[in-house]
Amino acid sequence: MTIVRLGYVAMSMELKNASPSKTMTFAQFQKIEDREAAIRKLERIAISNLENTLRLLKHNAASSIHFYRLTSRLIPLANHEALPDWNYIRPLKSLLKKIGDFAKINGMRLDFHPDHFVLINSQKEDVLKNSLKTLKMHYFLLKGMGIDHTHRCVMHVGGNYKETERSLERFVDNWMEVPKSIQDMIMLENDDTSFTLEDTLYLCEKLGIPLVFDYHHHLAHHKNPNWEEQWERIVNTWKNSPLPIKMHISSPKSAASFRHHADYIDISMFFEFLKKVNGSIPQIDCMIEAKMKDQALFRLMEEVKQQNNIEIIDDSSFQLL
């Protein structure tokens, strides 16, 4: 028997005017002649994003949702090269602590998924340097929340550059440049175009990184379609993690746009996966990557209730019997 917990990404389709990703471009920043006034505006936007994040967590608690991906766009221009003197954490300390305290009191698992431009295996030194700056921002946010940073940021391996093996080894080489605290924060997922499950497992096993299995990505890009042959290896990458194993679930938008995410989750596709892992692990946290966000979660749970051999735990969790 395996417990399944569902989560969703960043935005709610239920709450109105609750975006945690309001932004300000550098061009807009430059148009404000008074630099201090421009920075204060950035801080007001960041405060609004964090206040809306707290609203989202309260919405999640009311809906018994225990798993949520924070947006990586909480603080606009946080790492911009023109603002090296801006201590963006200082005005946010109180709100960050409130978010962390609320998550801990309500037993919520929070994590991040940094944007695609964060590339540990980049061929360019400046890209690696900026990637590390962005990862440090995530670390500082988690620290401000008082949340253990271990295994809270899921990433793709990076660029393939039409040379898979060399790109994997470049990840290993560049990993040595990553501070230990940031290394501890990372999880890796297989992707839908460049690095297969086996490629990603190679890095995860070599470097001691948990692998977040993306089922949809595997269906779109694989060497061996039989992912279950590697399931024990996937589970083993989590043996030293304080968190339950995590996976991503999404469904193809259509046969022609197979790699694109659909609005909702195809329950038959999801349960095809779950039935094969049932009993192999005590719990799995499944992050829904669907266009309709929390509404996709609510619809999926309604469909789960119609399945056989299921015990409902709450509005976002169930047990496979």
pLDDT at 273: 97
CA-to-CA distance for 28 and 37, rounded, in angstroms? Answer: 12
- For residue 1, the tally of other CB atoms under 10 A from its CB is 10
Residues 6+ apart with CB under 8 A from 192: 214, 216, 217, 220, 221, 259
What is the CATH code of the structural domain delimited by 2-320? 3.20.20.150
3-state secondary structure of 304: helix
Closest CA to 289 of 317, 316, 263: 263
Q: Tokens 């809306």 identify what position?
A: 52
CA-to-CA distance for 213 and 41, rounded, in angstroms? Answer: 39
pLDDT at 75: 96
pLDDT at 44: 96
Burial of 252 (0-12, 13-18, 19+ CB in 10 A): middle
CA-to-CA distance for 277 and 153, rounded, in angstroms? Answer: 24
CA-to-CA distance for 27 and 226, rounded, in angstroms? Answer: 49
Task: Assign 3-state DSSP to the chain and report helix, strand, coil percentages, each to 5.
Answer: 45, 15, 40
Residue 122 one-letter amino acid = S
pLDDT tens-digit profile, the chain (321 residues)? 999 999 999 999 999 999 999 999 999 988 899 999 999 999 999 999 999 999 999 999 999 999 999 999 999 999 899 999 899 999 999 999 999 999 999 999 999 999 888 999 999 999 999 999 999 999 999 999 999 999 999 999 999 998 999 999 999 999 999 999 999 999 999 999 999 999 999 999 999 999 999 999 999 999 999 999 999 999 999 999 999 999 999 999 998 899 899 999 999 999 999 999 999 999 999 999 999 999 999 999 999 999 999 999 999 999 999
**CA 16 to each of CA 94, 161, 189: distance values in angstroms, whole numbers, following the listed order:** 24, 41, 31
pTM of the model: 0.95
Q: Tokens 């990458």 identify what position?
A: 237
**Inter-residue contact 99 to 53 (CB < 8 Å):** yes
The size of the chain, in residues, is: 321
- For residue 220, the tally of other CB atoms under 10 A from its CB is 16
CA-to-CA distance for 253 and 177, rounded, in angstroms? Answer: 38
Q: Give the single-character DSSP code of 200.
A: H
CA angle 23, 26, 32 (to 5 degrees): 95
pLDDT at 49: 98
DSSP 76-145: TTTT-TT-TT---SGGGHHHHHHHHHHHHHTT-EEEB---TT--TT-SSHHHHHHHHHHHHHHHHHHHHH
pLDDT at 274: 97
pLDDT at 29: 87
